[in-house]
Structure formats: C-alpha cells, structure tokens
Structure 1
Amino acid sequence: MNISKRILGLLLTSLLVFGCNSQKKTQEKGAEVDKKKPNLIVIHTDEHNFRTLSCYQELLPEEQAFVWGKGNNSKTPFIDKIAHEGAITTSYYCSSPVCTPSRASLVTGLYPQATGAPKNGLHLREDIPTFATILRDNGYATSYVGKWHLAGHDKYSFGIKYNGGFEDNRFMMRGGHAPYFHIKDDQIKGINEKQAAKLPKEEVIHLTDYFTDKTLEILDRDKDKPFALMLSIPDPHTPDYAKPPYNTMYKDLKLKSPITMAPEHVKNKPSWGKDKGKNEAIGKASFKNQKNALKQYFGMVSHIDDSVGRILEFLDKNGLTDNTIIIFTADHGDMFFEHNRRNKGVPYEASSRIPFVIRYPDKIPSGKVIHTAYTNVDFAPTILSLMGVETNAKFHGLDTSEDFTNNQKELDSDRITYFAKTGGWWVSAVNNRYKLVLDKEESPYLFDLEKDPFELNNFYNDPAYKTIATKMQAELLKQMKEFEEPGLTQSKPYVLK
C-alpha cells in the first residue's frame, strides 16, 4: 500500500513537473513570438515645411531646396538617417492642410468627414477604430505623447477621456504651442520665453524636451514587449521661437524672399490662394521684417532633429533598431512666404505636402525613394499591413505596404489620390506629377509639378494637357462621390469645364 502511494506520488510529481515545464516552454515560445512583433514609433510635428529636412533638399533642384536663397535652410542629420536607412516619399499629402482633420485621418485611415473631426477643435468619434485601437487589441502597449488636437481647443491640458486606443495617454495634451512649460506642484502651465526667463530654471522646460523625455521614459518601460508609441511635437508651429542655442544657430543666413513673392505672381494667383487675413503677407517688406522668424523656424527644426537623434540612440543601445518601425511625418506644411502666404490651408505644395520618411530594417530596403502619390489617409491600413496585423476595419485609404517592402530602389506610379479644404470649398487631385484644383469660385487649375514646380501656371486649358486634365477631373469626382466629400452636397457647385 505504501509502495503504491509512493509510486502514485512520484507519478503525480512527474506529471506536475512535466506540466510546469510545458507551460514554461509555451510561455517562452509566446514571449519569442511577441518579441518578433515589430515595434512602432511615429514622430509627428506640427506645421512643418518639408523643404526644411535636408533629406528632401538632397532630392530637389537647388532652386526648390533653397527657396529662401542659395544655401539657406536647416540641416537634419538624424531625420536624414531614417530616410537614408529606409524610404523617403516625395508626393505625400495631408488629407486637409489643417491640424485636426489631418490628425484624424492619420489615426483612422478615413477622410475627415467620416472621423467626427473635419474642423479644428472637434472631437474624434469614439465608435471608429484607429490604428492604435487595433494594435492595442493585438497585444501592443500603446502610448501617445504630445499634442493631440482631437478633443477640443483647450491649451496645455491633459486628462483626455477618450484616448483613441493609446492606453497610456498621461502626456496627451489637447493643444497649445507655447515654447515652455512651467511645472510646479504638479501643475503645468504653458508660458513664453519672457515668462520663462523670470522663473527658476528647475521649474521650466521646453515642450519639445518635455515630450521627448516622456517618450524615452515610456520606451524604457516597454522595451521588453511589443510597443506602439506616437510622439507629437507642437513645433515648428508658430510662435516661431527656438530655445537657446537653436535660436542663434542660423543667425548669419542671408535670406531672400521666395520668387513666388514677386508682385506679378502674387497679382495673378487664383482666388483660393489669396487671404486678406493674417495668413496673407504684405510683400517683401513683410518678409524683411520677419526674416528672424524663419531663422527661428530653422532652429526649431534642428531642435526637433536632435530629439529624433535621442530616440534613435535609445533604439541602438537597447538592440531595438532592426525590429522597430520609425516614422517621421507632420500634420501639414507651412507656406513661409511662398506665394506671399504664411501658415497653411491652401493646396500649394508648401502647405499640403508633408514629409514622410520611414525606416524598418527587417523589411524596407535602405535608400528607397518613392514618388507615388499618397495621403495620410493611407497611413493606417499601410502601417498595420507592414506590421503583419490583420483587421476587419474599413478604411478609405489604401494598403501601400508593398511599395515600401519591394526591392525597387526607386518607385513611381501615376496613382491619383485627393485632399480637400476643410468644409469642401476646394478639392485637389494629385499624382506623381500633376495637381488639379477645383474650387467653387475659381476656374479649374492644373499644375505640372515637373515643369512648373513653383505652381505659377495653369495648364488646364492647354490642348496638350487635355487628356491628363480630363483623367484627373474624372477620377477626382469619382473619389469625392465614393468618400462622400462634403463639397458635393453643398448648394454652390464646383466650377467645372
């Protein structure tokens, strides 16, 4: 009897040990699978002119790379590193050249009219998936740091109730562009440089530094599991102030006004390019008075680039580089005196075209250049596919992941996509060479971005362009109908010919 009990005990012990070992091996195998999931970091800036990234300057003719005079531009070695070791796109556009609608499209893969946030200050719908909700549901640690602008107009406030799938949103800020935070007694207040100078140094931090620091803290916490993090830096948006030493980095540049500021060009530009409000400059006199603002802008870009460098260094030191997708992009551009304009909101390249560079050593060949036209509506379906994540979510954008992963060093196609002004007053179709703008007050404009990169001439009625004009217009109207573009249902129709 005792022998039988001993044998039974030994058998039970063996089974228990075997079960534990099997469970341990299963857990280890699961951990290995998790580690193979690619990580994701999206670095996103605000009101960022693509020309200020030197990786774009390298691809542009001199007159395009240096619209403010020969050699006058910022340098971005760390963002360039992403582009050189991965891919750079030359025809990437925002869904609408305004903060909130563009951001809503990036996270949802939908045009602004379907997101609940087609205008600044509106709230993202809570009943639609985002790339973050999908990654969260697939086992990712999801985090958001920086400007959100999808939950109202409040400035420098946190504690946002709906996080869009970014589970750690402690540092998700509703909005605001003050250069510094004053942090005291756990209270955060946005302040300008003059206010910052009067306060104890230990209570003051620049927003770019603050959000980069928080990003690195989160990455260190989540480095041993699959993570997806978005860092949204409020710069280089106005008020055009760079903190020291970046504020004097470009002080010796001899800036010149863009050629599109010439009176004959300003006089003849279309009505959708004019603005009698604050966005319209006042000729060369205004440019002369605001040269320092442009130098500060370059300084902000360099500050951002150094912050990107800190993140790249973290990935290298922690062995995360090969299995981490890192992206640098923006919500929209900044005219900065091209066509006598400031800021954004128009279909010109400096306003609507955005930087988009991506590195993923495991899948994307280095040194890749893609000329195919995209909008950030394509981002969500593309990034999920690139990460091998399946979803039943419906997107307006396309899965373009194969463009990034194939072996072609330079990729080009004439795919036509579109973007629009918030509210549907003008719409624009683009491909890798042409841009068509339809407006409710202006005759159609067709730009040939290869022959006329400064967008000064309308080729719409040129017989040599009849075929491409007809094709672009037909495709634009087709997509507007498919995606229920609001401009189609307004009482005033677009001017067509």
Structure 2
Amino acid sequence: MNRRQFLRNTSAAAGGAVLGSAASAAEAQGQRTTSSAPKAKPNIIIYLSDQFRWDFVGVNGANSSTRTPNLDAMARRGKNFTHAVTNQPVCAPARSVLMTSRYATETGVWHNGPGLKSELPTLAGELRKAGYTSNLIGKWHLSPAAAAQGGGPGYVPPEYRGGFLDLWEGANALEHTSHPYYGSLFDGDGKEIKFENQYRVDFLTDRAERFLRQKHDKPFFLFVSQLEPHQQNDENRMVGPKGSAERFINAHVPPDLRAFPGDWHQQLPDYYGACESIDASVGRLRKVLQETNQADDTIFVFMSDHGCHFMTRNQEYKRSTHNSSIRIPLIIDGPGFNGAQQIPELTGIINIAPTLLEAVGVPVPSTWKGRSFLPLLNDTAAREAWPNKELVQISESMTARAIRTPEWTYCVADISGAKKSESPTYLEWQLYDQRNDPHELTNLAGRKEYVEKAKELRTGLQKLLEYAGEGSPEIKPATLYP
C-alpha cells in the first residue's frame, strides 16, 4: 500500500471516529445538541476572507489588538490549524489550488488573469455529482480576465464557474465591480445586483443569510468569498467600516512589520476594522445556522487565500514566501471537526478539498495532489507520519519556489527577473530559521554554517517540484551573503 492510499484509509477511519464522538463532546462542553442524528452528508460552508493574516485571529495569541470573538469561539469549539499555509500567495492562483487540489502551475492560473482549466475536477463539481448543490456569493477570480476570452471583471459565464452551477451571486473581480460602500454583483443570468450605503462585507453577509434561511432539499456547498480586508485596488488602500481608523489608531504592530519600511503605518487601522467586520459577519452566519437548526449538520470552514506584509517585503502586499504572506487562518467546525483542538502540523490549501470530500464520504479524484488531513485530528501514528512540508510557488513579483517546513523556509528564485510560470534554473535566495527567527528578520542563505541544511532543503524542494509536475530544474547554491 502506498503512502497516499494509507493516508486516505486512515483519514476515513478518523472521520468516522470523530463523527461518532461529536454529540458526547458537545454535551461535555455544554453545547446545543439535537435529538436527531447528523445528516449522512453534512452541508459545507467555506468562508474565505481575502488577505486575512493568521495572527489577526485573537485565539492565535499573537496580537493584542485583534477583536475576533466569533472566530475565537469557533476555534475553541472546533479545529484550529495553527500552521496552515497557502501554496501560492496571490488571489487567483491560491483559489485555483483550493478548488482543484492541484498546484497553480497545473490549474492554468499561475498568476492573476487566466481562467481555470475547465477539464479539471473541482470541489464544487465533485460535490454536485454526489448530490449537493454548489453555490457562490462574492468574489470568484477564476474566470478569464480578458473580455476577448469571454471573461472580464463582472459576470461569469457558466463554463467558467468551476462547478458552481446552482446559486451564483458573484463577480469575477469584486474589487473592480464594487467599492466598500457601493457596487455590484451579478446573478447566474447576468442580472446586476446593486448595493449602496452599506459596507460590502455586510451586503455579502445579507445575501448569504438569505440563502441559509431558504428551504434546502439537498445538502449544500456554499462558498462565501469576501474581499475584505484586501485593499480597494483603485484607491490603493484598505478600507474598514467607518470609524476604524480612529478606533485602531494605536493598535498593535506585528513584529515582522516593525523592522521594515512599508505602508503599515497608514493601513493597519483600517485593516483591523475590516478584520473585525469579517468576524462579525461570521458570527451572523453562525447565528442563522443555529436559528434554522442547521448548525449541527454543517461543516464551517474559515480561511484566507494568503496573508499581507504591507509592502515590507516587496512592492505589493503578498507574493513572497514570508510568513506574513503565506501563513493563513484555517478553522473548521462541525460534523467530523467537533471538539476543541489545536492542530500544529503544517498543512497547505491544497489539502482542504480532499479533506472535505473525505469528511462527507465523497470519493477523492485520483488526479488531485493534496492529501486529507483528517488523520491529524485523532490519530497519533498519522500525525507522526505527516510530511510537514509544503511547496510554495511565487509568481508576478518574480518567479520563485520555496519549501516550508516547521523549522525552515528555503526559497530559490529566477534572478533574471522574468515573470513566467516556472524556470529551468533557480538560485538560492532566502533561508529562514523558523524556530529562532519566526519574524524572518535574518536571511541565512549563503552562510557557510548553513550549507548542509541548505543542501538538505534543496533536495526536498526538488522532490516537491517533481511532484508538482515541474520536472527537475537546476538549483544553484548561494555563494555570497544576500
């Protein structure tokens, strides 16, 4: 039996064991339970908040100014994956990885702009085949950006929806069809859904609440895709609810930002406010699930596509292999994920879709590259066998690749400056010691005392690149301190 089959078998067993213990765990913690058994196939909600840093969730304990009581409660009730990372720290590529469990160089969306390859199995499509409805509210970003290819920032034709063929109230690039207090979505027929004089987060939450209060004859998959706290592109700034800048003017500054120039001085107050509004939105939807007796039958995932470094590492807000770009919040609650637990093992976005399919008993496509992390919930042997390494692909800011382990980040780059899907040759560029330098202030690449460690990580990265379908590019060791 190969490793992947072993992980799938143990994850199925783990999922059953956790489901069986959910009611007793809830009763022990004084939570509401129902007399009826959970649905054979629970509903699934993925709530994605764009560019939300992992350390802005209060329960993660890294930030004294965060106000996220609803996310904190969710984490204390379910599973908090404290070392989750994105496999591609930019909007569209990260979403393509999430939906297909393939690397961005395989999905066709290795940078913002291209459309998702239509032949790839998607999470929404596989769930629909298993009897679910698949529904989207908010930002998509996986339709072609070019109008000549049938795309654009607004309406998304059915062939570019990645299997979301039931309720559709979205925009391909929400940041270009709306502003924080006005704008538009588009329904499945292309009809414009306008809003004004209402904060964008609240408007999308209204639409999601409306969906949840409807009668559902089938289990549903709902993707709530918020733009906040992502910057409003044409204003070059984050925009929180009115009054955010005043309320958070003296807020905590994360240590990874303090040492570097950037625009965090101006942007943090509104970023805090936007994060606070996301937390309130999650709280509203959780309340609706309780009121409609769907909470015990719904897996709720809160996550982000990438983080934010506030222009401290490059001339953008992400697109780097630093923790501020790649570490994301990942909290899952509901059937199969009940019972407070922090999961410290490293896991990537690429593993979310196979995990959810296994959690609801739907076959995982053999072409998917991710692995279910269900075994991490209650299987000691599986935790010990977990790979604890993730491949990170960088595009747009540069062409780069990294391997992230619990102890190290090792990054290589195409120093020609070319921006392409992949490169035949890379040079060692960054090496960070996560145990002694978690804020990544000292780059160890090229230092003689770390040559052997760099060699070991280089070999590990090359294996991951082969697995991702990139072949065996040459990686040249660093010969000088950066």
**TM-score interval for Structure 1 and Structure 2 normalised by the shorter chain:** 0.7 to 0.9
Match of 2:171 among 170, 173, 191: 173
Give 1:230 deviation, angstroms.
0.7
Unpaired runs of 5+ in structure 1? Answer: 1-31, 59-64, 190-201, 267-282
Match of 2:224 among 231, 249, 253: 231
Q: Which residue of 2 aligns with 1:371?
A: 344
Match of 2:394 among 421, 440, 443: 421
- Whole-Å separation in 2 of the counterparts to 1:166 and 1:222: 19
- Whole-Å separation in 1 of the counterparts to 2:299 and 2:291: 16
1:363-396, Cα deviation, whole Å (9 max, x unpaired):
2242211122111111111111112111444111
Q: Which residue of 2 aligns with 1:212?
A: 205
- Whole-Å separation in 1 of the counterparts to 2:468 and 2:316: 30
Q: Which residue of 1 aligns with 2:41?
A: 37
Match of 1:133 among 111, 121, 125: 125
Give 1:137 deviation, angstroms.
0.4
Match of 2:160 among 158, 162, 171: 162
Partners of 1:100 and 1:150 within 8 A in 2 = yes
When residues 133 and 187 of structure 1 are mapped into structure 2, their CA distance, relative to the original with a 3 A threshold, is closer
Give 1:425 deviation, angstroms.
1.9
- Whole-Å separation in 1 of the counterparts to 2:303 and 2:185: 32
Partners of 2:69 and 2:279 within 8 A in 1 = yes
Q: Which residue of 2 aligns with 1:151?
A: 143
1:310 lines up with 2:284 in the alignment: yes
Partners of 1:101 and 1:422 within 8 A in 2 = no
Q: Which residue of 1 aligns with 2:28?
A: none
1:205-264, Cα deviation, whole Å (9 max, x unpaired):
33212221111222222545311111000110113112235554424x2565856554xx
Q: Which residue of 2 aligns with 1:450?
A: 435
**Amino acid paired to 2:294:** L
Give 1:180 deviation, angstroms.
2.6
Match of 1:95 among 69, 87, 92: 87
Identical positions, percent: 26
- Greater CA deviation, 232-241 or 176-185? 176-185
Q: Which residue of 2 aligns with 1:61?
A: none
**Amino acid paired to 2:455:** T
- Whole-Å separation in 2 of the counterparts to 1:318 and 1:342: 42
Match of 1:297 among 271, 276, 294: 271
When residues 147 and 470 of structure 1 are mapped into structure 2, their CA distance, relative to the original with a 3 A threshold, is same
Give 1:453 deviation, angstroms.
0.5
Give 1:158 deviation, angstroms.
5.0
Partners of 1:315 and 1:321 within 8 A in 2 = yes
- Whole-Å separation in 2 of the counterparts to 1:296 and 1:313: 26
1:393-441, Cα deviation, whole Å (9 max, x unpaired):
4111112221135489x98955222111127821110122221111233
When residues 254 and 87 of structure 1 are mapped into structure 2, their CA distance, relative to the original with a 3 A threshold, is closer
Alignment of 1:26-425 (within 5 A): 35-56=39-60, 58=61, 65-66=62-63, 71=64, 73-153=65-145, 154-157=152-155, 161-177=159-175, 178-182=179-183, 187-188=192-193, 203-239=196-232, 240-244=238-242, 246=244, 248-251=246-249, 253=250, 258=255, 261-262=258-259, 283=261, 287=263, 291-336=265-310, 338-339=312-313, 342-360=316-334, 362-406=335-379, 415-422=388-395, 425=399
Give 1:39 deviation, angstroms.
1.1
SS at match of 2:93: helix
Q: Which entry has the higher C-alpha Rg, 1 or 2?
A: 1
CA RMSD of aligned residues (A): 3.1
Give 1:50 deviation, angstroms.
1.5
1:158-213, Cα deviation, whole Å (9 max, x unpaired):
55543211122420211132213346997456xxxxxxxxxxxx854332122211
Partners of 1:236 and 1:301 within 8 A in 2 = yes
SS at match of 1:343: coil
1:276-325, Cα deviation, whole Å (9 max, x unpaired):
xxxxxxx3xx65xx634211110011111111001110111122222211
- Whole-Å separation in 2 of the counterparts to 1:452 and 1:338: 17
- Whole-Å separation in 1 of the counterparts to 2:319 and 2:453: 25
Partners of 1:333 and 1:344 within 8 A in 2 = yes
When residues 466 and 90 of structure 1 are mapped into structure 2, their CA distance, relative to the original with a 3 A threshold, is farther
- Whole-Å separation in 1 of the counterparts to 2:154 and 2:185: 14
- Whole-Å separation in 1 of the counterparts to 2:304 and 2:216: 25
If the length of structure 2 is used for normalisation, what is the TM-score?
A: 0.77
1:470 lines up with 2:449 in the alignment: no
**Amino acid paired to 1:456:** L
When residues 46 and 215 of structure 1 are mapped into structure 2, their CA distance, relative to the original with a 3 A threshold, is same
Q: Which residue of 2 aligns with 1:199?
A: none
- Whole-Å separation in 2 of the counterparts to 1:420 and 1:182: 33
Residues paired across the two proteins, number:
413
Give 1:472 deviation, angstroms.
2.2
Partners of 1:147 and 1:232 within 8 A in 2 = yes
SS at match of 2:279: helix
1:434 lines up with 2:408 in the alignment: yes
Partners of 2:256 and 2:440 within 8 A in 1 = no
